[in-house]
Amino acid sequence: MKLFNLSLKLKGFPIKEAKAFLKTIQSKQKLDFQSYIETSKRDILDHHLKHNPFYKQFVKNVDLSDWNSIPVMTKRDLQQPLEQRLSEGFTAKTVFINKTSGSSGTPFIFAKDKFCHALIWANFMDRYSCFNLDLNHSKQARFYGIPLDKKDYYKERFKDALSNRFRFSVFDLSDSQLEKNIEKFSKTKFDYINGYTSSIVQFAKYLEQHNIVLKTICPSLKACITTSEMLFREDKNLLEAQLGIPVINEYGAAELGLIAFQNKTDQWVVNTEDLFVEILDKNNNVLPYGEEGRIVITSLYNKAHPFIRYDLGDIGTLSKKSTLQKPILEKLVGRTSDLVMLPSGKKAAGLTFYYVTKTIIENDGNVKEFIIEQLKLDTFKISYVSNKLLTKENLEHIKKAISKYLEPHLIVVFERKEKLERSKSGKLKQFKSYLS
């Protein structure tokens, strides 16, 4: 039984229709790629100009015949109540709603219409199939976070069951837990690994220390897909050596879906089916292949919410070998995540803070930006920019979340600022550790 497809269908996501439409897109691309891209860009722009009051006001008086004159959207532009950003004909009850991870330090709530969300999943399925992986049947070893409050925890576990996956903790990367991970792999026929880069790398380092190649104890493994964080060459070499399987680099964003996926010849191929990706300089000029700039993306099929020339907050470079039909992502700067080291000796992935920061992401858009810094083994500082001070209740809520997801008795200090310091690239790193 195709449980994953069924789970999407039961939630109102037309996956069968989306798969068929994806094939139609790919056929159009083969016939006349330039025409497909230009028509798709114009269609989504026209849709939101006609049906989205927020976007119509955002664009204002620009030359709509010149794509390069269309204003670039930032995450801060979208930090206002979701209801004000939805297109006509859509409500909170008829769309897919989620929150960005906050990895860029600028969180907000977003929406996708249900067909768009299904199309995103169809695209993932298409890419995975190139490596003989099937979301309906292939068993996944999942290195992701999970909410710890009972309702959301069991909701995620249920989704894991429907999706044929087992979730390993990224909140605890201690030696004792990693040993349990090895035991689970020895008893389960996993087909592939998927998850946060830093957590899987930490697991691989433990395997290296104990002279273990994971595929020798789990022969069914076919591949490892790393996502959400940078994958450096030395880490990829380590993973391939200690896991004993090909390592595939995936680049995506919750609000956009799949952005780039590594093919069998080690090229990081950009998704051109339902996205249009540009590399821009600080003045919003399109850069030639080979030059580093801001990654700006247009979602071609999200009719519920505009993501048109949307600045994701990442810095990257398209290879000089790129073509319009096959852009190749050569370099991605950003979204690296330090490990959190704790007094008990426990380690956790820096993206653990995603589950903490969810507690301060509210639909009113009060918190504009934040960063979390580890000053000492037991001391963390949260700096934030907001319209108004966080209340005492807000602060206690955050402290309780940190205690739950990391460990008790940690010192957490807060500082409200007018603005936060960014790197030279303009990237705002959500978590930084000052421990050596």
| Same domain assignment for residues 371 and 300 | no
Strand 367-376 to 431-433 pairing: parallel
Q: Is the pLDDT of residue 430 over 80?
A: no
Does the pLDDT of residue 1 top 80, yes or no?
A: no
Lowest mean pLDDT among 16-20, 24-28, 149-153, 353-357: 353-357
310 and 344 share a domain? no
Query: In DSSP terms, which residues pair with 167 in a beta bridge?
Result: 142
Same domain, 287 and 363: no
Gyration radius (Cα) of the chain, Å? 22
Q: Are 257 and 123 in contact (CB under 8 A)?
A: yes
Mutual orientation of helices 3-10 and 150-162 as an angle, nearest 10°?
A: 130
Alpha-carbon distance of 369 to 71, in angstroms, equals 22
Residue with tokens 């609000």: 255
Report how far residue 349's alpha carbon sits from residue 246's, in angstroms, rounded to the nearest whole number.
23
Whether residue 244 sits in one domain with residue 123: yes
Three-state secondary structure string covering the chain: CCHHHHHHHHCCCCHHHHHHHHHHHHHHHHHHHHHHHHHHHHHHHHHHHHHCHHHHHHHCCCCCCCHHHCCCECCHHHCCCHHHCCCCCCCCCCEEEEECCCCCCCCCEEEEEHHHHHHHHHHHHHHHHCCCCCCCCCCEEEECCCCCCHHHHHHHHHHHHHCCEEEECCCCCCHHHHHHHHHHHHHCCCCEEEEEHHHHHHHHHHHHHCCCCHHHHCCCCCEEEEECCCCCHHHHHHHHHHHCCCEEEEEEECCCEEEEEECCCCCEEECCCCEEEEEECCCCCECCCCCEEEEEEEECCCCCCCCCCEEEEEEEEECCCCCCCCCEEEEEECCCCCEEECCCCCEEEHHHHHHHHHHHCCCCCCEEEEEEEEEECCEEEEEEEECCCCCHHHHHHHHHHHHHHCCCCCEEEEEECCCCCCCCCCCCCCEEECCC
Highest mean pLDDT out of 2-6, 238-242, 341-345, 353-357 = 238-242
Domain, as residue range, for 51? 3-333
Average model confidence (pLDDT) across the chain:
91
Residue 167: predicted pLDDT: 95
The residue with tokens 């909140």 is 171
Pairing relationship of beta strands 275-280 and 292-299 according to DSSP bridges = antiparallel
Shared domain for 353 and 396, answered yes or no, is yes
Give the pLDDT confidence score for residue 422 in this predicted structure: 67
What pairs with residue 193 in β-bridges? Answer: 141, 224
Environment class of residue 319 by beta-carbon count within 10 Å: exposed (0-12), middle (13-18) or buried (19+)? middle
Same domain, 181 and 61: yes
Check whether residue 299 and residue 418 sit in a common domain: no
Extract the tokens encoding 287: 């850069």
Q: What is the pTM of this model?
A: 0.86
Are residues 344 and 277 part of one domain? no
Question: Quick one: tokens of 265?
Answer: 């010849």
Indicate which CATH number applies to the domain containing 287: 3.40.50.12780
Interval 217-240 mean pLDDT: 92
306, 333, 360 - which closes a domain = 333
Last residue of a domain, one of 285, 314, 333: 333
Q: What is the chain's length?
A: 436
Q: What is the pLDDT of residue 103?
A: 64
- Are residue 290 and residue 377 in the same domain, yes or no? no
Question: Given the structure tokens 């803070």, which residue do they identify?
Answer: 353
Is residue 426 over pLDDT 80? no
Q: Which two tokens stand for residue 333?
A: 């700067």
For 72, what's the count of Cα atoms within 13 Å in the CB-facing half-sphere? 19
User: pLDDT tens digits for 104-154?
Assistant: 667 899 999 999 999 999 999 999 999 999 999 999 999 998 888 888 889
Q: What pLDDT, in 10s, does the model give residues 63-118?
A: 888 999 999 999 999 999 999 999 999 999 999 999 887 666 678 999 999 999 99
- Cα–Cα distances in Å, from 436 out to 334, 379, 422? 20, 14, 21
Q: What are the φ and ψ backbone dihedral angles of 335, each rounded to 5 degrees? A: 60, 25
Same domain, 321 and 345: no
Mean pLDDT of 33-41: 96
| Number of neighbouring beta carbons within 10 Å of residue 326 | 14
Q: Write the CATH number for 347.
A: 3.30.300
Q: Which residue has the higher pLDDT, 353 or 109?
A: 109
**Confidence category of residue 336, pLDDT binned at 50, 70, 90:** very low
Lowest mean pLDDT among 60-64, 171-175, 329-333: 60-64
Burial class (CB in 10 A: 0-12, 13-18, 19+), 416: middle
Domain boundary among 333, 362, 387: 333
The answer to which of 34-38, 232-236, 365-369 has the lowest mean pLDDT is 365-369
State the pLDDT confidence band at 334, using cuts at 50, 70 and 90: low
- The per-residue pLDDT for range 248-306, each reduced to its tens digit, is 999 999 999 999 999 999 999 999 999 999 999 999 999 999 999 999 999 999 999 99
Q: How far apart are CA 256 and CA 98, in angstroms?
A: 11
Regarding whether 282 and 141 lie in a shared domain, the answer is yes
Q: How many CB atoms lie within 10 A of CB 264?
A: 9
Share of the chain above pLDDT 70, in %: 94
383 and 327, same structural domain?
no
How far apart CA 296 and CA 284 sit, in angstroms, is 9
Q: Which residues of 40-56 are buried (b: 16+ CB within 10 A; e: fewer)?
A: bbeebbebbeebbebbe
CA gap 229, 345 in Å, rounded: 23
The number of folded domains in the chain is 2
Percentage of the chain lying above the pLDDT 90 cut: 70
Mean pLDDT of 415-426: 75
